Chain A
């Protein structure tokens, strides 16, 4: 599985847009990029998944350049409740059948 690299931590203020970038230089052709959010003492929660270009849902946007060696999770207008750890994962969503290997994640802290 492709290894991912993310910043360990990021800080932001309420109302700002936050962009968290993940590097995955060894991403395979069949791999998808998935982001999860985890609050303390809770299980991770799926945020968004994409393969290329841009994906947007009600929570976030995911930008993936043409070479797919990195991706950026964009959270618009963050609030205090967005303070959490964000994980970027890369894998073949078919064959892995749910087996996920988490990296260190990015601790996002949103300040008032």
Chain B
């Protein structure tokens, strides 16, 4: 199946700093990618849809100025958590769907810890 890769797998940052997470589709082009957040023992929550060459679409309740999304190429989307605080500590996961394929492929996730 198609491969979606995230980097880094885990990151620790100080409160108030910004952190960038990368999501790459390794063997296919993805005009659309998706970002999810998952807190411990909870389900995945869709945060936003990343659109190549245009603005991201955010789900209700997700702050677009805090979670900056850039989809500059057909294989790369980035999520930047700005001015991170401890409550932003979570597991962030991206996904993409290969054109013509009905299943979504997920990255391995990024564990963000804000101290």
Contacts and interface: CB of A to CB of B under 8 A. Distances in A.
Q: Do A and B come from one complex?
A: yes
Which A-B residue pairs are the 7 nearest by beta carbons?
A: A43-B106, A98-B97, A46-B103, A102-B44, A102-B43, A93-B102, A43-B93
Nearest to B104: A98
Contacts of B46: 99-102
Contacts, number: 56
Interface in A27-71: 32, 34, 38, 41-46, 49
The prevalent SS among residues of A at the interface is loop
| Main SS at interface, chain B | strand
Interface residues of B, number: 26
B84 to A, nearest CB: 20
Interface size of A as a range:
20 to 34
Given A32-B102, A44-B44, A49-B102, A98 B107 contact: no
